Structure 1
Amino acid sequence: MKLLNVPVIDISPFRLGGEQEKQAVAQAVDRACRDIGFLVIRGHGISPELIEQTRSVSRDFFDLPAADKIRVARPSVDVARGYIGVDEESLARSRDPAAYGSDLNESFMIGPVDLPPADYAFAPAAGKHFAPNIWPGAPTGLGEVWRTYYRSMGSLAELLMQIFARALNLPEHYFDNKIDKHISRLRVRNYPEQRVTPEPGQIRAGAHSDYGSLTILATEDKPGGLQVCNAAGEWVDVPIVPDCFIINIGDLLARWTNDAWVSTLHRVVNPPAGAGAGSRRQSLVFFHNPNYDAAIENLVAGEAAKYPPTTSGDHLRKLYVATQNA
């Protein structure tokens, strides 16, 4: 029987235990990635204080007047940096160009905060994956907090990729040299209180799958939350567990595993009508992506490859523009 709901897995035995404990965690993670593509992790070692600092300073940014936020607007659709306003994006269009309705959230995003050597970061093949970040003048301290959070998420992603390697019967450190110059993004999404009735079919974030290797999400238990489409075709709520992260694998890792692991459709639904200010919701989202030149080829021994080889950078470039409104 496949898992039809998102499991909660304690990864501290992998961090702190021996071979037997590591293998038990890897097996549980493998089942989650095969069946539903999502898991909730506890025992991750990230400071709750850092998470709350990041939440707080991000709320302060989104509370700024619109004119201040627009000053750090995303410069173009092929540069994953800066502010994107409500109604400016449609995640559902990454799968269906004809999808109706833009998403009812606003966001701010950055990329790598520690650049690799210049001959790598600015090589022709790098494209705009190491484009400079755009920092707002206020609130004070946002840049420092976000940089710290970004680095912490990079370290957690490295640990998760080691668990994934074990789960795929690969050496534990198989992915290390493929993610040591990662092109990940930190994006905070603010889902405002809905004071106007959404258009038919319009929700906080349309049904989509993520593009990269894995996503690390810290969100809030507020009305109008995250749902996953399980193997039975049912939309199920993702549990919000205190001091835990929600993890899901993306299209790149599904492709890398020859679809042994699933990149699952998910969405963020609207709160009930009249939910008021208590329905405002904020998500800290770290999209982990391997080095732009990491080769993405079938990792499953004994199976014919379903996809031609590509690289992490080429895979991501093709998808970034698809979510933008015409």
Structure 2
Amino acid sequence: MTHDVIPVIALEPWFSGDPAARAGTAATVDAALRTAGFLLVTDHGVDPELGGRIRESAHDFFKLPPAAKEPYGVKVGGRGWLGPGAEANAYAEGTPTPPDLKESLSFAADEPIGVPAVDAEWFLPNNWPREVPALRPAVEAYLRQMRELSDRLLGLLGAALGGPEDFFTRHTGHPTWGFNINWYPGRDTVGEPEPGQFRIGPHTDFGTVTVLDRQAGKGGLQVFTDTGGWQDAPWVPGSLTVNIGDLMARWTDGRWCSGRHRVLPPPADIPAEELMSLVYFYECDPGTDVRGIDSHAYLRAKLDSITVG
């Protein structure tokens, strides 16, 4: 996919404070989000070593025997291990498919706000695998940087929309978020995909912005546009992939599109290819009204829709 559809945007001009540079960046972002709903960003300030440390520890976990992972097993929206067959993302857009060919370690917001009913649903403690003790400090450091970057991105989006920079961040004082470490094994592990089966089926994300640290591969990310159909998403070393979700699209009255995407099945000609993605889903404060809908009633319904079993 050409970079004029999904541009590579250096964030340093936006961070610099120069009015002309900031205006140019905001205009480019606005144009991109009207088409594919995706961006690649560089100069983002996230420590690249953290991703490597997370992948190393997570890989050790995913390679454990099933019996060692099962005590951490949860359903979609929980905090722990999503094993094979737990999730089918295409159901979120009403398309029945076989379960996605992946495993995930899933974490989420865990600092209570003091409202028991809200805390019990959205701010529970995370479940850290004891077998990989190095994972927790790396993930927690990464999450701090993701939260900061996501709010800075929302400030950029506020300006790109023509409003104040706090247009969205005034609703992220104590937000929910999710973080998935997605492991996509090769065919030598999962076998032959069923017809219509993907590593992740076609869908849009549900929240405000998603920040993705992904690896290049033949069985990787594809993005859909009305003009180009399904095309491989561009990848630039050191960049992060950013897309907007359903709540953001609704918040902008459809000016920006929720980026539809999928992850291809493991390729037949590279049966041992495995990839790992770090996916940070940013949302907003529980109970935020987004153009007439309750943000978290919407999120819960979507999470339930992709749960298998």
Q: Which TM bucket (shorter chain)?
A: over 0.9
Q: Which residue number in structure 1 is paired with residue 79 of structure 2?
A: 81
AA in 1 matched with 2:205:
D
AA in 2 matched with 1:247:
V
Q: How many residues align?
A: 306
Q: Does 1:250 align with 2:270?
A: no
Q: Which runs of 5 or more residues in structure 2 are unaligned?
A: none
Percent identical pairs in the alignment equals 34
AA in 2 matched with 1:6:
I
Query: Which secondary structure state, in structure 1, belongs to the residue aligned with residue 150 of structure 2?
Result: helix
Work out which of the residue numbers 258, 276, 280 in structure 2 matches 1:282: 276
Spell out, residue by residue over 1:34-81, the C-alpha distance to the aligned partner (whole angstroms, 9 max, x if none). Answer: 11100111111111112222222222221222111111111x45x432
TM-aligned CA deviation for residue 144 of structure 1: 1.4
Structure 2 matches for 1:4-153, cutoff 5 A?
5-74=5-74, 76-77=75-76, 79-96=77-94, 99-113=96-110, 115-119=111-115, 122=116, 124-125=117-118, 128-153=121-146
TM-aligned CA deviation for residue 85 of structure 1: 1.0
The answer to whether the Cα contact below 8 Å between 1:8 and 1:41 also exists between their aligned partners in 2 is yes
- Give the alignment's Cα RMSD to 1 decimal: 1.8
Q: Does 1:177 align with 2:170?
A: yes
1:3 to 1:220, Cα distance in 2 relative to 1, 3 A = closer
AA in 2 matched with 1:16:
S
Q: Which residue number in structure 1 is paired with residue 185 of structure 2?
A: 192
Q: Which residue number in structure 1 is paired with residue 196 of structure 2?
A: 201
Q: Does 1:312 align with 2:295?
A: yes
1:80 to 1:233, Cα distance in 2 relative to 1, 3 A = farther
Spell out, residue by residue over 1:222-277, the C-alpha distance to the aligned partner (whole angstroms, 9 max, x if none). Answer: 22000011121511111111110000000110011111100122100123313132
The answer to whether the Cα contact below 8 Å between 2:158 and 2:165 also exists between their aligned partners in 1 is yes
Normalised by the length of structure 2, the TM-score is 0.94
AA in 2 matched with 1:42:
T
TM-aligned CA deviation for residue 287 of structure 1: 0.4
Q: Does 1:293 align with 2:287?
A: yes
The answer to whether the Cα contact below 8 Å between 1:4 and 1:232 also exists between their aligned partners in 2 is no
Query: Which secondary structure state, in structure 2, belongs to the residue aligned with residue 128 of structure 1?
Result: helix
Instruction: Work out the CA distance in 2 between the residues paired with 1:167 and 1:222.
Output: 32
Normalised by the length of structure 1, the TM-score is 0.89
Q: Which runs of 5 or more residues in structure 1 are unaligned?
A: 298-308
TM-aligned CA deviation for residue 4 of structure 1: 7.1
The answer to whether the Cα contact below 8 Å between 2:97 and 2:201 also exists between their aligned partners in 1 is no
Instruction: Work out the CA distance in 2 between the residues paired with 1:322 and 1:245.
Output: 27
Instruction: Work out the CA distance in 2 between the residues paired with 1:4 and 1:214.
Output: 20
Query: Which secondary structure state, in structure 2, belongs to the residue aligned with residue 222 of structure 1?
Result: coil
1:43 to 1:3, Cα distance in 2 relative to 1, 3 A = closer
Instruction: Work out the CA distance in 2 between the residues paired with 1:165 and 1:211.
Output: 19
AA in 2 matched with 1:81:
R
AA in 2 matched with 1:319:
K
